[in-house]
């Protein structure tokens, strides 16, 4: 069912003009100087974002999707952007150190010989503070709400992007996972449907097995499986058709065509090619 558009909603052009030069945040990413904000300043940002979220909720309840979208984005822009995950950074350093150690490791039988290469210890990763956790949660909720607005506007690709942002801050945010899965279902490509499957499976790991939502997700997964197979078959046929047309263009110069080559499933998810006169 197509979402109902309010007669007095803000146009897409108007809301894009209100984005203040950023998709979700108005921070200047080109600056080489990172501004360090005090805890009091961050608390004020959290308060402003919460007030804007409430304002956006009012617009959403009134079915003013565009206005709600603008307001949620303003709230998100009040929060500092998520820093690059320290844990991932630590893992990257650990991998680099391991590779250095393996490269510097002496051949078999010479372990007792001294090595000139020293492996630097990996810096410990500090857990996020309570304030950082609050910031992450606030960003996740606002990003998911932005996704909800895009869903109502029928902009499912944008909804997927917004929910993905929410999941960067809260990887087990059930609403964002389900919303992204449903939008990927609406997009309907093989890739999107496969991603929807992944999100539904993740939801089943998070939700209590006896919950009504878990049963709904299980049903969605059952209905999705034949759609994934059909989309895969369709896209493979389209790809083979394009390859066949291109192949005929080349082979025609030698008095051949792709009809001389037969592709048959090899039983392993791929195809084998046989030549025939």
Q: For residues 178-213, b (16+ Cβ closer than 10 Å) or e, as one string?
A: bbbbbbbbeeeebebbebbbebbebbeeebeeeeee
Residue 35 CA to residue 24 CA, distance in Å, equals: 19
What fold is seen in the domain 1-27+39-82+133-171?
Answer: 1.25.40
Residue 206 CA to residue 172 CA, distance in Å, equals: 7
CB distance 223 to 243 below 8 Å:
no
CB distance 240 to 263 below 8 Å:
yes
Q: 82 Cβ partners below 8 Å, 6+ apart?
A: 136, 139, 168, 169
> Token pair for residue 226?
């034949």
Residue 246 CA to residue 241 CA, distance in Å, equals: 9
The predicted structure's pLDDT at residue 253: 63
The predicted structure's pLDDT at residue 126: 80
Tell me the angle at which helices 212-251 and 174-187 cross, rounded to the nearest 10 degrees: 40
Q: For residue 273, list its beta bridge partners.
A: 263
Q: For residue 263, list its beta bridge partners.
A: 273
CB distance 72 to 17 below 8 Å:
no
Reduced to 3 states (helix: H, G, I; strand: E, B; else coil), residue 93 is: helix
Residue spans of the domains in the chain: they are 1-27+39-82+133-171, 243-275
DSSP state of 252: G
Q: What does the pLDDT profile of the chain (277 residues) look like in tens digits?
A: 444 444 444 555 555 555 443 344 433 444 443 445 788 999 999 999 999 999 999 999 999 999 999 999 999 999 998 876 544 544 454 455 445 545 555 555 444 554 455 556 666 778 888 999 999 999 999 999 999 999 999 999 999 999 999 999 999 999 999 999 999 999 999 999 999 999 999 999 999 989 999 999 999 999 999 998 888 787 677 776 676 666 666 666 666 666 666 667 777 766 676 666 6
Q: For residue 272, list its beta bridge partners.
A: 264
Q: Where are the beta strands (DSSP E) in the chain?
A: 261-265, 271-275
Residue 190 CA to residue 230 CA, distance in Å, equals: 8
Q: Which of 130, 138, 124 is nearest to 49 (CA)?
A: 138
- Write out pLDDT tens, residues 142-168: 999 999 999 999 999 999 999 999 999
């Amino acid at each position: 069912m197509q979402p109902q558009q309010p007669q007095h909603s803000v146009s897409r052009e108007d809301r894009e003009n209100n984005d203040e030069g950023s998709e979700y945040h108005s921070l200047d990413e080109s600056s080489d100087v990172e501004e360090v904000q005090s805890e009091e300043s961050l608390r004020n940002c959290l308060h402003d974002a919460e007030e804007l979220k409430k304002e956006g909720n009012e617009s959403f309840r009134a079915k003013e999707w565009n206005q709600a979208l603008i307001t949620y984005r303003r709230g998100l822009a009040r929060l500092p952007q998520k820093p690059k995950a320290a844990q991932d950074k630590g893992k990257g350093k650990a991998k680099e150190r391991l590779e250095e150690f393996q490269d510097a490791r002496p051949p078999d039988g010479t372990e007792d010989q001294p090595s000139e290469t020293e492996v630097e210890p990996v810096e410990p990763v500090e857990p996020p503070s309570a304030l950082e956790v609050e910031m992450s949660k606030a960003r996740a909720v606002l990003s998911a709400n932005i996704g909800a607005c895009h869903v109502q506007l029928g902009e499912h690709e944008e909804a997927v992007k917004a929910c993905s942002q929410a999941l960067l801050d809260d990887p087990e945010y059930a609403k964002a996972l389900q919303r992204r899965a449903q939008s990927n279902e609406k997009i309907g490509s093989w890739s999107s449907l496969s991603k929807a499957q992944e999100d539904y499976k993740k939801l089943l790991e998070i939700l209590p097995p006896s919950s009504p939502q878990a049963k709904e997700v299980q049903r969605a997964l059952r209905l999705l499986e034949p759609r994934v197979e059909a989309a895969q078959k369709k896209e493979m046929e389209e790809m083979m058709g394009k390859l066949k047309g291109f192949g005929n263009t080349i082979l025609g110069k030698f008095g051949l065509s792709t009809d001389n080559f037969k592709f048959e499933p090899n039983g392993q998810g791929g195809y084998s090619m046989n030549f025939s006169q």
